[in-house]
Structure 1
Amino acid sequence: MAWIILIGSGLFEAVWATALSRSEGLTRLIPSLVFAGALLISMAGLAYALRTIPVGTGYAVWTAIGAATTVIWAMITGAEAISVVRVLLLTGLISCVVGLKITEA
């Protein structure tokens, strides 16, 4: 259950990062509220998951999910360019985090 919550909270990290960008320095109300709500959910999920998942692995997974999802969403929406190199680097990032999980003691 902790892993499912960690993955979900990593996805909410992508939501708050995107909302923060769209809030224009927290000057736009709706994106600022989305940012605050997603941040609370993301942090609460991370805190819950780290009760049973080792902090190094859990934090790496959480940040990788958030970072990869944020970049993928930006590429899908056209906010960032898509390139073979970027896709390969994202694949490498995800592979490294999966490796951390696999080698977890």
Structure 2
Amino acid sequence: MAWVILVLSGVLEAVWATALSASNGFKKVVPTIVFVAGMALSMVGLAFAMKSIPVGTAYAVWVGIGASLTVVVSILRRQESASLARLGLVFGLVACVVGLKVVS
């Protein structure tokens, strides 16, 4: 159950990071609310997961999921380019996150 919560918390990290960008420096209300709620839920989930997953592994997985999803969302929204190198590096990040799960 902790791993499921951790993955969901990583997804929420991508949600709040994207909302933070969309908030335009906290000038837009809805993205700001999504940012605050997403961040709070993401942190609660991370804290819960850390009860049974080592802190280094949990944090690396959480950040890896959030970072890679944030890049993918930015590419899909055409805010960042989708170069072969960028996609390869995101794939490598995901592979490292999966590797941490496998060796845990």
Q: Using structure 2 for the length normalisation, give the TM-score.
A: 0.96
Counterpart contact for 2:15–2:35, Cα < 8 Å: yes
Task: Tell me the matched-pair count.
Answer: 104
Structure 2: gaps (5+ residues): none
Deviation of 1:91 after TM superposition, in Å, equals 0.8
Partner of 1:82: 82
Matched residues in 2 for 1:7 and 1:100: separation? 13
SS in 2 for 1:25: coil
**Runs of 4+ with >3 A deviation:** none
Counterpart contact for 2:6–2:45, Cα < 8 Å: yes
- Say what the alpha-carbon RMSD is for the aligned residues: 0.8
Partner of 1:49: 49
Partner of 1:68: 68
The percent identity for this pair of structures is 51
Q: Using structure 1 for the length normalisation, give the TM-score.
A: 0.95
Matched residues in 2 for 1:82 and 1:92: separation? 15
Partner of 1:30: 30
Q: Which amino acid aligns with 2:24?
A: E
